[in-house]
Structure 1
Amino acid sequence: MSSSTEGSTKAIFYALGANGGIALAKFAASIYTGSGAMLAEAIHSLADCANQVFLLIGLKEAKKPANASHPMGYARVVYFWAMMVALLLFFVGGAFSVMEGIAHFKHPQPISAPWIALGVLGVSVVLEAISLRGAMVEIRKIAQGKPFMRWFRETRQSELMVVAGEDIAALAGLALAFAAVLMTVITGNPLWDACGTIAVGVLLMVVAVMVIREVKAMVTGESAAPEVHAAIKAHIEADVDVASIRNLISMQWGEQVMIAVQAVMRPQSSDVALVDAINRIEAGIQQRWPQVHWCFFEPDHALLKQAAAGAE
C-alpha cells in the first residue's frame, strides 16, 4: 500500500469512527428532545458513515489487477465512489435537512430538554474536530506547503478531498445547529430551530456542489498535479539525448499517472541507441515518480518539423 493510500485510509477510519458515535448520540438526542436541527445533524452523520464505507469500497476496488477489459486497471474507480459520496451528501444530508427544516417551520414544535441537545452537539464538535485534525495531518504530508483551498482545487486524491470536505461541513453544521438550539432556548421561539435545520441543509448542499465540481474534473480526465506535470517536463527537457519536447500529456489515473511524450531526439548512432536512450529516459521518470505506471514515448526529428513548415 502506498503512503498516500495509507494516509487516505487512516483519515477515512478517523471519520468513520467519529461519525458512527456521533450519529448514535444525535439520534437519541433528537428523539428525546424533538429538535429538528438535531435530527438533521443525525441524518447528516449517518450519511457520512455511509460515505466513508463507500470510500473504503472504492480504495479496495482500485487495487484490483488489470485485465483484458481494463488494461490500465481499476484505479479510477475511486472517482466513481467519490461522486456517489458527494451525491449522497447533497441529497441525503442537504436536501433532507432543508425539507425537515421547512416542515418544522410550518409546524413549529418546542424542544424538550434542550440542554441534552446542546451537550450532544458540544461533544460532537470535539469528535469532529479530532476527525478533521486526522485528515489535515495527512493533507499536510502531501500538500507541500500549499494553502488548503489551493490543495483542494489541485489535489488528485478524491477520497482525502471528500473526507476533508465532509469534516469541514460537519463542524460548520454543528456550529449552526448549536446556535439554533441555543437561540431557541434563549428566546423560547422554536422557529430558530427550524431555521437552523434549513441552514445546515444549505451548508451541506454547498459543500457537496464544491466536491462534485472537483470530482467531475477527475472523472472527465484530469492531468497530473501541476507541479508533477511541470517537474516531469523539466526532467525530460534536461536529458542530454532530448533536443526539445513537442508535446507532453499527463493523466491522473486514480493514484497512478499515465504520460505520453512526443520529443525531438538528438541524433543517435543507430536505432538501437535511440531505443536505449528512450528506455533510459522512461526508467528515470518511473524511478523518480513511482506513480507513473505508463510512459508512452514517441521520438521525433527536427527535420520533420522543418519539412512540414516548408510544405506549407
Structure 2
Amino acid sequence: MSQTLVLLKKGNKSALLAAVVNTVIAIIKGVAYLFTGNVAMFAETMHSLGDAANQFFVFIGSALSKKSPTDRFPSGFGRLVHLVLLGAVLIVGIMSYETIIEGYHHIIDPVKSEGFLLVIMVLGAAVVLEAFVLYKAMKELVHEAGIEAKGFAIIPKSLANFKSGKPATRLVFMEDTVATLGGLLALIAVIISRYTPFHQAEGIASIIIGIMMFFVVGKVFLDNAAGVLGEADEYMEQKIGEMAIADPGVKDIQEVTVIKEGEDLHVELEIEIDPALTIAEADDIKDRLEQRIMAEKGVTEVTIEFDEDDGVRTWSNQKDIDLVREGKARE
C-alpha cells in the first residue's frame, strides 16, 4: 500500500488537477441540465464527464509508469501511460458520439430551453475554471521543456514547446483547450437561442463540440499508439550522435537509437574506436559518453557498444530541417 502511495505522488499533477476540476464542473453542469433541459448544457456535461474520467486514468497511468523494473518486466513500465491513454480515449469517444446524436435530435426537433440565467452562470463559471486548468497545463508544458516564462509569455511558449511535454500533460492541454472553446461556443449558442427564433443553434453547438472531442480522440490515439510501439526520438538521436562524434576518442558512429518509454528515453549507441586503444582507454570513452548522455533531460538508460574503426565514415552531421526547427523550439 505504501508503495502505491509513493507512486501516486509521482503522478502527473496537471492531470490530477484537471480531473478534480472537471468532476466538479460536470456535477454542476449535470444539475443545471436536469433543471433546464438545455441541449448545449447536456453536451458540456458529457464533455466534462469524459474529460474527468479520462484525466483521472491519465493520472493513475502516469503514476504507475514510474514503477521500477522487475524480473518479469526488465524494461520497466514507461509505456504503461500510453496504454492507459489509449483506453481512456475510448471514454471520450463514447461521450463524443452521444453529444453529436443529442445535437442532431435537437436540430430535427428544436425545443426552447428554460433557465437562461442559470445556464449562463454555470457555463460562464465553467469556462473560467477550464481556462484556469488550461493555463496550469501551459505552465507545466513550459516547465517540462526547461524554459522560463511568466504571465502571458507562457501561452506562446507552451504552444511552441508542445511536443516537448509529457504525454499526460499534452493530453490535459488538448482536452482543456477544447473544453474552454466548447464552453464559449455553448454560451454563444444559448444566447442566440434565447434572443432569436434560431433554437437549432444549441444543437449545432452540441455537434461541433462532439466533433472537437473526436479530434482529441484521434490525436491522442495516434500519439499513444506510436508510444506503445516504441517511438524513436529523432531530435535526440541527432543531438546525442553529435555529442558522441565530438568526443576525441570516437572515430565514427554506426548507429544511435533513442526510444521513448513513456516519459523516459532509452539510448543505444554503437561507436567505432581505434582498435589500438587499450581496454582502459575504451572504458574512459564509455564513461565520458555515459555521463554526458545521462545529463540530458529524460534519459534514464544508456547502452554503448564498441566496434573497430573501418575507415569509412558513416555518421553525417547534416541535420534535417525539421529536426533543426524542433530543436530550436525546445531550446
- What is the aligned partner in structure 2 of residue 135 from structure 1? 137
- Runs (5+) with no aligned partner, structure 1: 307-312
**Contact 1:156–1:218 at 8 Å: present in 2 too?**
no
- Tell me the TM-score normalized by structure 1: 0.87
- What is the aligned partner in structure 2 of residue 151 from structure 1? 161
Matches for 1:253-264 after TM superposition, within 5 Å:
253-264=261-272
Q: 1:100 to 1:291 in 2, by over 3 A?
A: same
Distance in 2 (CA, whole Å) between partners of 1:294 and 1:18 is 36
Equivalences, count:
298
Per-residue CA deviation, residues 74-124 of structure 1 (Å, 9 max, x unaligned), is: 1110111122232322222x1110011112223322201112111110111
* Secondary structure at the counterpart of residue 255 of structure 2: strand
- Tell me the TM-score normalized by structure 2: 0.83
Q: CA deviation at 1:232?
A: 1.8
- What is the aligned partner in structure 2 of residue 91 from structure 1? 94
Q: CA deviation at 1:7?
A: 9.4
- What is the aligned partner in structure 1 of residue 150 from structure 2? none
Q: Which amino acid aligns with 1:257?
A: L
- What is the aligned partner in structure 1 of residue 300 from structure 2? 293
Distance in 2 (CA, whole Å) between partners of 1:22 and 1:269 is 66
* Secondary structure at the counterpart of residue 33 of structure 2: helix
- What is the aligned partner in structure 1 of residue 231 from structure 2? 222
Please state if 1:41 is matched with 2:44: yes
Q: 2:283 aligns with which of 275, 278, 302?
A: 275
Per-residue CA deviation, residues 182-232 of structure 1 (Å, 9 max, x unaligned), is: 110011442121111111111111222122222222222212362x33332
Q: Which amino acid aligns with 2:228?
A: V
**Contact 1:263–1:299 at 8 Å: present in 2 too?**
yes
Q: 2:66 aligns with which of 57, 63, 68?
A: 63
Distance in 2 (CA, whole Å) between partners of 1:100 and 1:70 is 45
- What is the aligned partner in structure 1 of residue 120 from structure 2? 118
Distance in 1 (CA, whole Å) between partners of 2:215 and 2:188 is 19
* Secondary structure at the counterpart of residue 195 of structure 1: helix
Q: Which amino acid aligns with 1:200?
A: I
Please state if 1:302 is matched with 2:304: no
Per-residue CA deviation, residues 269-299 of structure 1 (Å, 9 max, x unaligned), is: 423432343233223322x126322222121
Distance in 1 (CA, whole Å) between partners of 2:100 and 2:71 is 46
Distance in 1 (CA, whole Å) between partners of 2:179 and 2:274 is 56
When the two chains are superposed, the root-mean-square deviation of aligned CA atoms in Å is 2.3
| Bigger mean CA deviation after superposition, 11-20 or 246-255 | 11-20
Q: 2:213 aligns with which of 200, 204, 215?
A: 204
Q: CA deviation at 1:303?
A: 2.9
| Bigger mean CA deviation after superposition, 160-169 or 254-263 | 254-263
Q: CA deviation at 1:147?
A: 5.2
Distance in 1 (CA, whole Å) between partners of 2:205 and 2:249 is 64
Q: 2:244 aligns with which of 236, 249, 266?
A: 236
- Runs (5+) with no aligned partner, structure 2: 1-7, 148-155, 314-331
- What is the aligned partner in structure 2 of residue 104 from structure 1? 106
Q: Which amino acid aligns with 1:118?
A: I
Identity %: 27
